[in-house]
Amino acid sequence: MPKKRQRYKDKNQQLTDVRVICEQEARIKDLESQRALLQSGMPCPLCGSTAHPAIERYQTLELSVNQTRREALEKEVKTLADEGSTLRGQLEAITQQLQRDEREAQTLSQEEQALTQEWLTVTASLNVTLQPQDDIAPWLAAQEEHEQQLHQLSLRHTLQAQITAHTEQITQLQLHIDQRQATLTAELSRYGLALPPEDDVASWLSERANEAQMWQQRQNELTELQARIAQLAPLLETLPETEALSENIEDLSLENWRQVHDDCLSLQGQWQTLQQQEAQDVQRAAEIQAQFDAALQASIFADRDAFIAALLDEETFNRLEQLKQSLEGQRQQAQTLVNQAQQALAAHQQQQPTEVDLTLTAQHLHDALAQLTQLLRDNTTRQGEIRQQLKQDAENRQQQQALMQEIEKVAQQVEDWGYLNALIGSKEGDKFRKFAQGLTLDNLVWLANNQLTRLHGRYLLQRKASEALELEVVDTWQADAVRDTRTLSGGESFLVSLALALALSDLVSHKTRIDSLFLDEGFGTLDSETLDTALDALDALNATGKTIGVISHVEAMKERIPVQIKVKKINGLGYSKLDKMFAVE
């Protein structure tokens, strides 16, 4: 685009020049009849010249060459103008597309800012220090870990509730067992018995079973003996009296008598024994019955049948004992789980982050996590859309790379022209004037600093930061302190003025060589040291071939200046004279 524009300008300038030439040639051709009237040695009626050297050259002038060139240039300029219009239309279309892209990018940026603000609001409400550009994967992993810990804690709470329920069930069963044991203990105490330890229950039941078997056996024996006594009673009644018996003893054999005697003695002994045992059993049974009746009245049972119905058989007792042992084992396991859960809970609470709010409920945390997860999904989706749009924009830019490069060049030119417009753009021309003067002043300051370095190494000049064309002095002996030129002393002002004068002579030296320098006064305000410095500088300038003239009334300068022109004051105001050697005769 810039090349075509420059080419259009060049061709248009060439066309303008050719048109001027064609107009001049046409005007020359029109004056052909007037040139024919010109004669050698005769003055021209238009210019008055008596010499006419171009008559022959004008006569051979051909208009067709420049006209053909003009027509070709007109066609080429028209072609370039059409191409420029086409490119201008393309540039406008691209510029509009670029503006649309910029507006869309601005809209996307605003949406991103809105999403970022929403993100910050949600994270602030959840007390989460997470930025949108941060990697959220570790945070999600941490949240999943927290959720798992919450799930484990919920399971622990559930197990704790189950353990509590089982513990209550065990307590109730234990109370029921204790009541049964108390009742059983009371009943057994009436019979002079006591409950054995849990480890000796089996042997104790075996002993009681043996005792019951022996008691039953004795009852059976007692019944048999009573039956035999009942059988022998009629026989005893049929026996004869003693005397009759003694009369018939002789008739009995000794062996039969002894057998009968032994049987009688044996039966009598058994009878006595059984009577004693029966008396003891009856007495013991009466005691036990009395104790049982007393305990029955004090118990919760209505009668003996209710107590017998409440007694546990061996199978039920064994089953309850096994249930008790099983529940006790479950209780111990549950207690172990409770201890482990409490230890894990304590360890988990020690690892609790400082930013976690313990007042939040699990439901609130789940809702916040769901809200944050949904926001993350929305942001991820929106980021995907933006990435796709950026990818599409990159593809469009890649497809229109040449055009984009041309746009960038034009934009750079626009920026350059804008910068130049800010510097020199003004209808009055004051900006350009200041800009040009500023360039000249910068060059003058550089040259003056070179002269100051040779004159005195303490001071340097620089432009003020404002747009005004003003100078200020840098004192290198005072940590580069900046001073205004109005604060300089007389000697400092002389040095700066001398440096500027020398710099000005150097500035115009490319056009005019200045070999002389004339100083009018200015030395009277200098102290001796500054005066020596100034004179040394003038000597150095004189050594370079420059002629230096000085007007001064300072006596110390007479010793340093070998060539002098003395002016003497005479009578009268404003009258002076030179030495006689300068008199003009």
**DSSP line for 557-582:** GTTT-SS---EEE-SSTT-EEE-GGG
- What are 83-103's pLDDT values in tens digits? 777 777 777 777 777 777 777
Section 323-346 average pLDDT: 81
Structure tokens at 119: 């993100």
Tell me which DSSP letter residue 361 carries. Answer: -
359: amino acid identity, one letter: T
Do 555 and 563 form a contact (C-beta atoms < 8 A)? no
Measured CA to CA in angstroms, residue 281 lies from 12, 322, 419 at distances of 154, 37, 135
Name the helix (H) or strand (E) containing 389.
helix 362-399
Over residues 108-123, mean pLDDT? 76
Domain check: are 109 and 12 in the same one? yes
**Are 471 and 531 part of one and the same domain?**
no
Overall domain count for the chain:
3
Query: How many whole angstroms separate alpha carbon 149 and alpha carbon 17?
Result: 91
548 within a domain of the structure (yes/no): yes
60 and 39 in a common domain: yes
Using alpha carbons, select from 170, 158, 156, 161 the residue that is nearest to residue 329. Answer: 170
pLDDT in tens, 222-244: 777 777 777 666 655 555 454 44
Best CA proximity match to 528, nearest among 540, 519, 538, 536? 536
Instruction: Decide which of 455, 487, 508 is a domain's last residue.
Output: 508
Q: Are residues 494 and 530 in the same domain?
A: no
Q: Tell me: do 498 and 542 sit in the same domain.
A: no
Task: Decide which of 552 and 178 is more confident.
Answer: 552
Mean pLDDT across the stretch 491-501? 83
Which of 508, 526, 552 finishes a domain?
Answer: 508
CATH of the domain at 572: 3.40.50.300
Phi, psi of 482 (to 5 degrees): -95, 130
Residues 479 and 405 in one domain: no
Instruction: Specify which residues 471 forms β-bridges with.
Output: 463
Q: Judge whether 327 lies within some domain.
A: no
pLDDT-wise least confident of 25-34, 136-145, 166-175, 571-580:
25-34
Per DSSP, the three-state class of 544 is coil
Q: For the chain, state the CA radius of gyration.
A: 70
Residues 497 and 574 reside in one and the same domain: no
Residue 557 lies in a domain: yes
Could you give the CA distance from residue 368 to residue 298 in angstroms, rounded to a whole number?
65
Q: Are residues 531 and 503 in the same domain?
A: no
Give a yes or no: residue 99 inside a domain: yes
Phi, then psi, of 324 in degrees rounded to 5: -60, -45
CB burial of 2-26 (b: ≥16 within 10 Å; e: otherwise) equals eeeeeebeebbeebeebeebbeebe
Listed residues 475, 508, 541: the one ending a domain: 508
Look up tokens 């057998």; give the residue: 259
Residues linked to residue 576 through DSSP beta bridges, in sequence order: 569
- Answer whether residue 385 shows pLDDT above 70: yes
pLDDT in tens, 446-467: 999 998 887 778 889 998 877 6
Distance CA 204, CA 194 (A): 10
290 within domain boundaries: no
On whether residue 451 sits in a domain, the answer given is: yes
The DSSP bridge pattern shows strands 459-463 and 547-551 to be unpaired
**480 and 438 in a common domain:** yes
Largest CA distance in the chain: 235
Helix (H, G, I), strand (E, B) or coil at 310: helix
Mean pLDDT in residue range 119-145 = 69
In sequence order, what are the residues at sequence separation of 6 or more whose Cβ sits closer than 8 angstroms to the Cβ of residue 181? 195
pLDDT digits (tens, 9 = 90+) for 248-263: 544 544 555 566 666 6
- The C-alpha atoms of residue 535 and residue 559 are separated, in whole angstroms, by 11
The separation between the first and the last C-alpha atoms of the chain, rounded to the nearest angstrom, is 77
DSSP 459: E
Backbone angles phi, psi at 363, to 5 degrees: -65, -40
CA distances from 557 to 489, 501, 526, 531, 553 (A): 20, 21, 12, 9, 8
The whole-number pLDDT of residue 536 equals 79
Q: Distance between CA atoms of 18 and 321, rounded to whole angstroms? A: 130
- The pLDDT score that the predictor gives to residue 242 is 47
Query: Is residue 197 domain-resident?
Result: no
Residue 441 has pLDDT above 80, yes or no: yes
CA distances to 448, 474, 492 from 457, rounded to whole Å, are 12, 11, 12
Q: Is the pLDDT of residue 546 over 50?
A: yes
Q: Which among 225, 237, 217 has a CA at the least distance from the CA of 267?
A: 225
Query: How confident is the model over 208-221, as pLDDT tens digits?
Result: 677 777 777 777 77
Q: What is the pLDDT of residue 474?
A: 92
Q: How far is CA 503 from the centre of its chain?
A: 59
The reply to whether 7 and 110 lie within a common domain is yes
> Are both 494 and 539 inside the same structural domain?
no
Claim to verify: residue 498 and residue 565 sit in the same structural domain = no
9, 14, 20, 21: CA torsion to nearest 10: 180
Give the model's confidence band at 472: pLDDT under 50 very low, under 70 low, under 90 confident, else very high. very high
Contact between 483 and 500 under an 8 Å Cβ cutoff? The reply is no
In a domain, 219, yes or no: no
**DSSP 8-class letter at 478:** G
Distance between CA atoms of residues 124 and 146, nearest Å:
19
* Contacts by 53-58, CB closer than 8 A, 24 or more apart: 58/28, 58/32
DSSP characters over 109-125 = HHHHHHHHHHHHHHHHH
C-alpha to C-alpha distances, 429 to 241, 353, 418, 420, 434, nearest whole angstrom: 184, 69, 16, 13, 9
- Domain enclosing residue 43, as ranges: 2-115+387-413
What's the confidence (pLDDT) of residue 473? Answer: 92
Band of the pLDDT at 245, cuts 50, 70, 90?
A: very low
User: Which among 103, 109, 400 is positioned nearest to 408, based on CA atoms?
Assistant: 400
CA distance 432 to 558: 48
Under 8 Å between Cβ of 471 and 499: no
Residue with the larger pLDDT of the pair 306 and 126: 306
